[in-house]
Amino acid sequence: MDMNKLTMKSQEALQAAEVKATRFGHIEADGEHLLLAMLEQADGLAPRLLQRMEIPVDNMRQRLEEELSRRARVSGPGVERGKIYITQRLQKLYTQALEEAQRLKDEYISAEHFLLAFTYEGTATAAGKILQEFGVTRDTLLKTLAS
């Protein structure tokens, strides 16, 4: 993952995703951690886009937290504090977001590119399922971005 390809806000979201993973007792940062981190950025693009789409961001945030709290927690002497891994899936989301940025002729990967990448997952993942529950699709995102 090339951090130089990310906007500052996207870099902050990835770092926050790792913190979220630690908070939930997970040893890996995954897509749901990233999506939650993006939604919690007060002045971030993701919450503004979703609000423009009339999506209740707080409800989506709550659904993500519920999903993350259901995952297995790791604790005990074998766990290295501060050592969080990035899942293969999160790497794939990064790659998909990079492709979206290139498709939209953007130089850096931003929140909208990650949101678009999540829509490709459909109901195969918790984040994709939650986005669909709230009516977030590739088309609705692109229309909102265009306006």
**How many angstroms separate the CA atoms of 36 and 140, rounded?**
20
Q: What are phi and psi of 113, to 5 degrees?
A: -70, -40
pLDDT interval class at 62 (50, 70, 90): very high
Residue 76, exposed/middle/buried by CB under 10 A (0-12, 13-18, 19+)? exposed
The alpha carbon torsion through 52, 54, 55, 59 (nearest 10 deg) reads 110
Report pTM. 0.91
Residues 6+ apart with CB under 8 A from 69: 24
Residues 5-48 pLDDT 10s: 999 999 999 999 999 998 898 989 999 999 999 999 988 999 99
Are the beta carbons of 34 and 14 closer than 8 angstroms? yes
Question: Does 77 have pLDDT greater than 60?
Answer: no
- Please report the pLDDT score of residue 54 as a whole number: 95
Question: Which three-class secondary structure string do you get for 50-109?
Answer: HHHCCCCHHHHHHHHHHHHHHCCCCCCCCCCCCCCEECHHHHHHHHHHHHHHHHCCCCCE
Residues 88-119 pLDDT 10s: 999 999 999 999 999 999 999 999 999 999 99
**How many angstroms separate the CA atoms of 98 and 94, rounded?**
6
